[in-house]
Amino acid sequence: MERSDNPSICRCEDSEIMSQVCEKCGKGPMAGHNVSHSHRKTKRRWLPNLQKAEVDGKKMRICAQCLKTLNKVRPAKAER
């Protein structure tokens, strides 16, 4: 087990840290502001819509947009 100077952070070798990042496209959290009626701004984050899915026999956390693209049926190319 690896310890850091900060006692609240402890990383074990056998556990993985779950991040809010799509494993296919790399889309992650975005930062911005909530804006009230009086235009006061407070910080906020927009998280990607991650779903657990099995792709090519491997379990992945991918965003809904990538999942839709994977399920999309491409039409056959038109013969000229």
pLDDT (mean) for 31-37: 97
Residue 62: pLDDT over 70:
yes
Residue 20: pLDDT over 60:
yes
Burial of residue 7, with CB atoms counted within 10 A of its CB: 0-12 exposed, 13-18 middle, 19 or more buried = exposed
CA 50 to chain CA centroid, nearest Å = 5
pLDDT band, very low/low/confident/very high, at 1 (cuts 50, 70, 90): very low
Which domains are assigned to the chain? 24-71 (2.30.170.40)
Longest dimension (CA), the chain: 67
Dist. CA 29–CA 48, nearest whole Å: 6
- pTM score: 0.63
Dist. CA 78–CA 63, nearest whole Å: 31
Give me the pLDDT at residue 67, please: 92
